[in-house]
Structure 1
Amino acid sequence: MNSHVFDLCKAMPYWEIPTDQRRLLWADTIHFSEKGYDLVGAMIADQLASIIEALPNSTEIKEDFEKVEL
């Protein structure tokens, strides 16, 4: 079984980010703002893309994904 971990706390350390950026990314000390959630989504998407590209059959997966209509 393969497992992958994305450390969100390490990727977006609340107390290490400058205050002006923190205000843009967090709505409060717990919840992200819209921009914060967009950034989290982009980081997770990048990680997933890296994982998929590393798979032995990643070309087949990519071709199958491109056939899906959203």
Structure 2
Amino acid sequence: MTTPDNWRKSSYSGGGDGNNCVEIATHFTHIAIRDSKTPAGATLTFPTGAFSSFIEVVKTHPAGTERAGI
């Protein structure tokens, strides 16, 4: 699998320089997510079809409220 080179920041980056968010990159076989504050760090990668399910879980179980079971 190749590392995507088309990283873009979330539209919910907030004020300032927008570094307190995630970045996403798409590839025809997978979608990758990374922390914008540490772009050289770990990358979470999903098969293209599984990304929508991941987003729904994140929306349903925001961090700090309850375990999402994933």
TM-score, with length taken from structure 2: 0.26
Larger of the two Rg values belongs to structure: 1
Structure with the largest fraction of helix: 1
Structure with the largest fraction of strand: 2
